[in-house]
Structure 1
Amino acid sequence: MPHPKAIFLNRQTPPKIVTLTLLAGLSALTMNIFLPSLPGMAAYFDAPYALMQLSVALYLALSAVLQILIGPISDRYGRRNVILAALVLFLIATVGTLLAPNATVFLIFRMAQAVIAAGMVLSRAVVRDMVSDAEAASMIGYVTMGMSLVPMIGPVIGGILDEAFGWQANFGLLLGLGLIVLALCWADLGETATLQRLSFKDQLRSYPALLGSRRFWGYSGAAAFSSGCFFAYLGGAPYVGTVVYELTSSRIGLLFAITAVGYMAGNFFAGRYSVRFGMNKMVLIGTTITTLGLITLALVTAAGLSSAVMFFGLTITMGLGNGIALPSANAGILSVRPDLAGTASGLGGAIMVGGGAALAALAGVVLPPGSTEMPLILLMLASSLLSTLCILAVIRRARSLGIAA
């Protein structure tokens, strides 16, 4: 008879939605909770702001690389085992950020925190393991709606903690939350994947089947450029808030929540209507909303009517559009090869986050000392326009193949 502990570690029971939400939420929170602290961190380490801003771009870059590996490994060894291992490594990296003696060591451990990307990737793969395509888009919408509550309040809390206790308090909070999520996943997250008896090398050989699909590239491009405008915002908004509008870190954190409110509303819309409208139409609706909102922001800024409230307030349309588009875009990525959901999720996530890393870094380049907010707005607008073109290409391809989505 198997040992009871072995049964516990390998039980085939799906997790509760709250477990997936908190798991994905920790990944999102790690990306943005410390953003209001960036100017203070630069002063603490006596380092240029541009160097500390790399804590966003480098994190995203390594996250993209890891996602290429996470998907195939989880298809081979299981979602549960990979998630638990990632959480342990995340906790070690978080301790490293707290003990870092200089900016270089901090950035190294900050990059290591990117292993928590497994939570974002595999929470989607777990959903796809359990339900069909249309239901997956709906369920991912509900999961990410709940998940958006965490990063919505993250920068607010981060700004308050920074002013009260210093930037280290943000990473101390991540450490405590990581321990809680690890305990929850250990207790509730059963294995949902049908494990494939292929070697890791054989798993990687499945990539050409995905990369050769126009639909995969279309959905991945739509997701990458749609989220790319948000990643550019993450990279540039702290500069705009601090330098252009001279706001405190707590005020910047509060204004960051505006985008997340829109994202939560978009996720609710996606959860409710994805099955009715279909994946492709939902992605198009979302990217169109984002593009129109950013066009409005660009025109208002060009007319000299910009203000902190106007700049941060109009980003609610970006949050709304992404909240509608991304669940269906991600479900579309997984629908190309359902038998390789983990691999597709990892590869699609790598493309999305890798593009985000590039745009976050580019945001730092287009905002030299003395710059206004306009270069950042135009960068975000260009990314959103490309996302719309990508989903239009998918719709055209689907029609030519007679595929309904």
Structure 2
Amino acid sequence: MTISSAPPPRQRAVWLDRTTPPKVLTLVLIAGLGALSMNVFLPSLPSMAAYYNADYAVVQLAVSAYLGATALVQLVIGPLSDRYGRRPVMLGAVAIFSFATLGCIFSPSIEMFLVFRMIQSVVAAGIVLSRAIVRDMVPADKAASMIGYVTMGMSLVPMVSPMIGGVLDQWLGWKATFFFMLAFGLAVGWLVWNDLGESNDQRSDSFGAQFRAYPELVRSRRFWGYTLVASFASGSFFAFLGGGPYVATVVLGMNPAELGLYFGFIALGYMIGNYVSGRFSEAFGLNAMMFYGSAVAMLGLIAGITLFLLGFAHPISLFGSILFVGLGNGMTLPNANAGIVSVRPHLAGSASGLGGAMMIGGGAGLAALTGMLLTPERGVWPLLLMMLASSIAAIAMAGYVIHVARKVSAEAAG
């Protein structure tokens, strides 16, 4: 089924030429900055709780509340970029992120730290805009493959950054991870300034018009289907972000450096899944790849639950199953995101922002709920069961999208 026509022919991308579309590496890094901000400090959560003399549930708001703020930011970033262009919005986001990172480093209290942490969420612009820019540059049937390759490269960041964060925390303390975050942000800002040419040739007439266009998206069954697949598939990952550090340190007795190393499992799986998506999405189609990816994630979690039931309470029992969650999400999310931004091509930025807000908002709720349910007595079960439920819901929604697509095709044929 053809979702949209191709965009008009574009200039060839020239490296470090801000008058042409950006290179793929630039898209990887602007999206990677958001991933870095979400992941690099995760091994330091217990250290931060000790530093501020705060409960883990409060410090964990740096994950769950940050995700909630990210959801709100994405509602605005998409329409802003549709109205004013991708380039100025991305430049402004990086500047605000850098300021907020300095605030996190020098915050005297956990409350002040969390305020600046929420401001950091503006960096979600990189994730939203990388998808919208891809849709500006290529037609829908190639967008999933290109998004897959972009996110494959981006997934190196969350694979490596927790390892770096764990080592920095062990050697220099948790603030070192935020200095590293600041340096990465400044480097990406330089690259955006020099390579990110404007790709939005169809800007809207007014900012308010973009918000008034949201009902057009909301009325689309395909938009809801793709968004819910993305939300539930990523929900298992966000639940892990909220509860994984606690389970690893309190239940399995891992130190920050070990935790950072094992966190690479989910990113490694995600990178492999992104490659599979980039390689096979055009051949198999968006909908089939979403279904297969969700099934892989579910089967991985069932395997992990089985190992714990058999008494194998080892980090590999947890993180081995997490690798398959990453693999499944790497297959599912590029295709779901390509579907989201292709339902209404003239609203690609708004669709990316609204879909991303729903996805991240749901993830924030799952991360917070998982964190609240975890206790030493309950062990790994709240985390694994929450992730499994989210993966099963993703399969159900992928089946719904396939059903809607078949029904629309049958109606068109009739």
- TM-score tier after normalising by the smaller chain length: over 0.9
Contact 1:37/1:249 (<8 A) preserved: yes
Contact 2:18/2:193 (<8 A) preserved: no
Cα distance, 1:197 vs. partner?
3.9
Matched, 1:287 2:297: no
390, 403, 409: which is aligned to 1:402? 409
Separation of aligned partners in 2, 1:366 and 1:295: 20
Matched, 1:119 2:135: no
Matched, 1:88 2:95: yes
Contact 1:293/1:314 (<8 A) preserved: yes
Tell me which moved more, 148-157 or 301-310: 301-310
Q: 1:4 is matched with which residue?
A: none
Separation of aligned partners in 2, 1:158 and 1:372: 25
Separation of aligned partners in 2, 1:361 and 1:333: 26
Gaps of 5+ in 1: 1-8
What CA RMSD, in Å, does the superposition of the two structures yield over aligned residues?
A: 1.4
Q: 2:8 is matched with which residue?
A: none
Matched, 1:211 2:218: yes
Q: 1:138 is matched with which residue?
A: 145
Tell me the amino acid that sits aligned with residue 182 of structure 2: L
Separation of aligned partners in 1, 2:227 and 2:133: 19
**What whole-Å deviation, never above 9, does each CA across 1:107-156 have from its counterpart, x for those lacking one?**
00011100000000000100000001121000000000000011101100
Cα distance, 1:314 vs. partner?
1.8
**What whole-Å deviation, never above 9, does each CA across 1:322-343 have from its counterpart, x for those lacking one?**
0011000000001110111000
SS of 1:343 mapped into structure 2: helix
Q: 1:49 to 1:341 in 2, by over 3 A?
A: same
219, 227, 240: which is aligned to 2:234? 227
Separation of aligned partners in 2, 1:183 and 1:12: 15
Which 4+ residue blocks in structure 1 deviate beyond 3 angstroms?
Answer: 9-12
Q: 1:79 is matched with which residue?
A: 86
Separation of aligned partners in 1, 2:248 and 2:43: 9
**What whole-Å deviation, never above 9, does each CA across 1:184-209 have from its counterpart, x for those lacking one?**
01000000002424221111010001
**What whole-Å deviation, never above 9, does each CA across 1:29-58 have from its counterpart, x for those lacking one?**
100110100000000001001100110001
Matched, 1:164 2:158: no
Separation of aligned partners in 2, 1:10 and 1:16: 10
Tell me the amino acid that sits aligned with residue 217 of structure 1: W
Matched, 1:63 2:70: yes
Contact 1:10/1:191 (<8 A) preserved: no
Cα distance, 1:10 vs. partner?
11
173, 192, 210: which is aligned to 2:180? 173
SS of 1:240 mapped into structure 2: helix
Q: 2:113 is matched with which residue?
A: 106
SS of 1:107 mapped into structure 2: helix
324, 327, 330: which is aligned to 1:320? 327
What does 1:349-364 align with in structure 2 at a 5 Å threshold?
A: 349-364=356-371
Contact 1:301/1:374 (<8 A) preserved: no
Gaps of 5+ in 2: 1-15
Contact 2:82/2:204 (<8 A) preserved: no
Q: 1:402 to 1:38 in 2, by over 3 A?
A: same
Q: 1:3 is matched with which residue?
A: none
SS of 2:168 mapped into structure 1: helix
240, 251, 254: which is aligned to 2:247? 240
Separation of aligned partners in 2, 1:215 and 1:168: 44
Cα distance, 1:305 vs. partner?
2.2
201, 207, 224: which is aligned to 2:208? 201
Q: 1:42 is matched with which residue?
A: 49
Contact 2:370/2:383 (<8 A) preserved: yes
Separation of aligned partners in 2, 1:301 and 1:103: 35
Contact 2:202/2:346 (<8 A) preserved: no
Tell me the amino acid that sits aligned with residue 205 of structure 1: R
Contact 2:77/2:125 (<8 A) preserved: yes
Matched, 1:333 2:340: yes
> Matched residues, percent identical?
55
Q: 1:373 is matched with which residue?
A: 380
Cα distance, 1:369 vs. partner?
4.2
Contact 2:251/2:376 (<8 A) preserved: no
Cα distance, 1:297 vs. partner?
1.3
Tell me which moved more, 193-202 or 247-256: 193-202
